[in-house]
Amino acid sequence: MKVLVTGGAGFIGSHVVDLYLERGYEVVVIDNLSTGRESNLNPRATFYKLDIRSQELAEVFERERPDFVNHHAAQMDVRYSVEHPIFDADVNILGSLNLLECVRQYDVQRFVYISSGGAVYGEPIYLPCDEEHPVAPISPYGASKYSVEQYLYMYFVNYGLEYVVLRYPNVYGPRQNPHGEAGVVAIFTSQMLADQQAIINGDGEQERDFVYVKDCAEANLLAMNTGVTHGVYNLGSSKGTTINELFLTLKKLTGYQNEAVHGPAKVGETRRIYLNAEKVYTELGWSPITVLEAGLEKTVAYYQEAVE
């Protein structure tokens, strides 16, 4: 069976590609390398350097005829989406529609779509957020990711496209780029190992749900093999960790000597968010197995090796 992974040279997508290959799938990767890296690419995968908005996308489908599509490619920087909402919508909505039209025309069996549990719910009414929580994004990024979820339901009803939506928490681990749209774990780790001043946005009491990247990859494997015809699932640990707590743990693991410095809070970012993952455990059999400190230890070891 063949799966096409968009964003397969990216941080999370490359781990998903590795796992698919390990489990016997033939894998095709599409990535424009705007944030992905060639060094992340698995040499066993077939690679096309291509933007998901390109009209050449149909040519790849014509040539490769994938059975499944896993859609990780996105403009994923919340702050950038606030400053450039039209670009965010162009990539995340129109790019996804370009992909869905190819999926429809070439009879793809199943579509796995990566959404954002950290952005679609907005400021939570209750915690942890389950899938029944009202959707009220406060950033263009959250709005664009949720829009595609609605298109997927339409494609299921009208064309019979089976799909699974995975709403990610804050994913961290090896290969995350500490620049660009990177998450706080990669940023803090790289700064601490370089003995640079790490800056916490706001008071640091904002809470996030951190899940290790290899655990997320496992969810993508389960999403491909489920009998569920269509569904939306949170991934998460069901508990929040403050940025101040994260800072102190990484400080211990890296041997960092400096104290935290606080900068201004960022516009469009949710104050507190963590996700209830009971549904994905019940229906797909997924739960995170890597506790936070163990995952952070593996992440620090990866960055230490990278700078040596």
Q: 128 preceded by cis ω (within 30°)?
A: yes
Tokens standing for 141? 């990024």
Look at the block and give the residue holding tokens 């104050």.
271
30 DSSP 8-state letter? E
H helices of the chain, in order, are 11-22, 57-64, 78-83, 85-89, 95-105, 140-159, 184-193, 213-225, 243-254, 278-284, 292-307
Cα separation, 146 vs 94, whole angstroms: 13
Structure tokens at 60: 């790849």
* Cα 293 to chain centroid, rounded: 20
Distance CA 141, CA 208 (A): 17
Which residue of the set 80, 121, 141, 233 is catalytic?
A: 141
> Is 141 a residue of the active site?
yes
- The rounded distance, in Å, linking the Cα atoms of 89 and 76 is 11
Whole-number Å distance between alpha carbons of 217 and 14: 9
* C-alpha–C-alpha distance, residues 194 and 192, integer Å: 5
Rounded alpha-carbon distances, angstroms, from residue 142 to 78, 115, 145, 308:
8, 8, 5, 37
What positions carry a catalytic annotation?
141
